[in-house]
DNA sequence: GCGACAG
DNA sequence: ATCTTGTCGC
């Protein structure tokens, strides 16, 4: 299925990607580096960012990359940028960053140019951090390249290092009762790779939170929890909503501009 | 051959 | 990720 993409990749690309991940992994800081991260109320935290990439349905390359910044603790959007991009790398489990991260780094750079005062103090990233095949997921990758604290927030368990979405795991999920309940994800190696977090009182599926860069797992989980009005943390949710909306307005909206570009022959065509 | 496969 | 409407529940 998805791994068919492996065959369409230049011979040496995969090993180059692995080398790059190994190099950059050495630069990851998996502990708190900012004063607000230690504070029980996150005093001093004012801006939380969220990033996401949404796709054009029929197209494997067309996508919209978005970066939003929310005020904290109000969680109101104070900055938004959506941009159509053309993806080049295919999606490969374990190499998500090579597909999406260049565009997210660009978005952060443009924010730095346009509104440096709105630079987020931390980014919530759709995907994993150190909970990854080689301990270097997209949240680590984006963190190292931007030097921003980053948190990985995945919606599904990436089954690595002995972690399995098996009956035992599902039982642990059932034991999560209220928002904030969580359990650690300990890899076969013994290391705690992340936390399964119930982010909403009425959500069945937990969030899988892991360290991206410049934040401890404890602070990452507490921050994620405090950013959740619904299951998905508001910064990521807003980035997702707005990027999909942007695609809809750009390619799906009614009007003469798009009528000739829609799928299939229109009325009157042979 | 079988299962796994963030987004 | 995306394909997809209504529907059941709080």
Q: pLDDT by residue (tens digit) across A178-223?
A: 999 999 999 998 999 999 999 998 888 999 999 999 999 999 999 9
Question: Does A154 sit behind a cis peptide bond, omega within 30 degrees of 0 on the bond before it?
Answer: no
Percentage of chain A exceeding pLDDT 70: 92
Stretch A11-28: mean pLDDT: 95
pLDDT, residue A265, reads: 43
CA of A2 to C1' of B6 (A): 13
Stretch A135-144: mean pLDDT: 98
**Smallest CA–C1' separation from A154, nucleotide:** B6
Q: How many CA atoms lie within 13 A of A101 on its CB side?
A: 22
pLDDT, residue A89, reads: 93
Band the pLDDT of A5: cuts 50, 70, 90. confident
pLDDT, residue A3, reads: 65
Distances (CA, A) of A129 to A134, A192, A212: 10, 12, 4
Compute the distance between CA of residue A125 and CA of residue A163 in angstroms, rounded to an integer: 21
8 A C-beta contact, residue A81 and residue A66: yes
8 A C-beta contact, residue A209 and residue A199: no
Residue A264 contacts strand C, CB under 7 A: no
Q: In sequence order, what are the beta bridge partners of A69?
A: A49, A79
Compute the distance between CA of residue A62 and CA of residue A54 in angstroms, rounded to an integer: 9
Compute the distance between CA of residue A169 and CA of residue A159 in angstroms, rounded to an integer: 11
Could you give the angle at which helices A13-25 and A138-146 cross, rounded to 10 degrees? 60
Compute the distance between CA of residue A46 and CA of residue A12 in angstroms, rounded to an integer: 43
Higher model confidence: residue A259 or residue A78? A78
Residue A21 contacts strand C, CB under 7 A: no
pLDDT, residue A250, reads: 87
pLDDT, residue A189, reads: 87
Q: pLDDT by residue (tens digit) across A231-242?
A: 999 999 999 999
Is A97 in a helix, a strand, or coil?
Answer: helix
Query: Which residue is the nearest neighbor of C9, CA to C1'?
Result: A202
Domain boundaries in chain A?
A: 29-251
Q: pLDDT by residue (tens digit) across A37-88?
A: 999 999 999 999 999 999 998 888 999 999 999 999 999 999 999 999 999 9
Band the pLDDT of A32: cuts 50, 70, 90. very high
Residue A249 contacts strand C, CB under 7 A: no
**Most confidently modeled range among A4-13, A121-130, A261-270:** A121-130
Q: Classify domain A29-251 at the CATH superfamily level.
A: archaeoglobus fulgidus dsm 4304 superfamily (3.30.2170.10)
Query: Which nucleotides of strand C come closer than 7 angstroms to any CB of the protein?
Result: 1-3, 10
Stretch A10-14: mean pLDDT: 86
Q: How many CA atoms lie within 13 A of A19 on its CB side?
A: 5
Compute the distance between CA of residue A92 and CA of residue A95 in angstroms, rounded to an integer: 5
Question: Does pLDDT of A4 surpass 80?
Answer: no
**Nearest of A29, A5, A14, A25 to residue A216 by alpha carbon:** A29
8 A C-beta contact, residue A168 and residue A159: no
């Amino acid at each position: 299925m998805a791994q068919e993409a492996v065959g369409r990749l230049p011979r040496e690309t995969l090993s180059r990607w692995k080398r790059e991940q190994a190099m950059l992994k050495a630069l990851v800081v998996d502990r708190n580096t900012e004063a607000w991260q230690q504070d029980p109320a996150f005093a001093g935290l004012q801006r939380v960012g969220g990033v996401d990439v949404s796709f054009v349905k029929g197209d494997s390359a067309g996508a919209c990359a978005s970066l939003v910044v929310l005020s904290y603790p109000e969680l109101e959007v104070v900055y938004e940028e959506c941009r159509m991009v053309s993806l080049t790398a295919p999606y490969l489990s374990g190499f998500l960053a090579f597909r999406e991260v260049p565009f997210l780094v660009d978005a952060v750079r443009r924010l730095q140019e346009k509104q440096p005062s709105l630079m987020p103090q931390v980014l919530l990233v759709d995907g994993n951090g150190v909970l990854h095949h080689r301990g270097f997921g997209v949240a680590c990758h984006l963190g190292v390249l931007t030097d921003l604290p980053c948190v990985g927030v995945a919606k599904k368990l990436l089954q690595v290092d002995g972690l399995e979405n098996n009956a035992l795991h599902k039982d642990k999920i059932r034991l999560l009762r209220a928002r904030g309940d969580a359990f650690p994800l300990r890899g076969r190696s013994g290391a705690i790779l992340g936390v399964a977090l119930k982010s909403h009182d009425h959500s069945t599926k937990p969030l899988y939170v892991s360290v991206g860069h410049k934040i401890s797992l404890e602070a990452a989980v507490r921050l994620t929890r405090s950013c959740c009005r619904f299951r998905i943390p508001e910064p990521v949710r807003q980035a997702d909503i707005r990027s999909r909306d942007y695609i809809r307005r750009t390619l799906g909206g009614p009007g003469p501009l798009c009528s000739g570009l829609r799928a299939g022959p229109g009325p009157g065509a042979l």
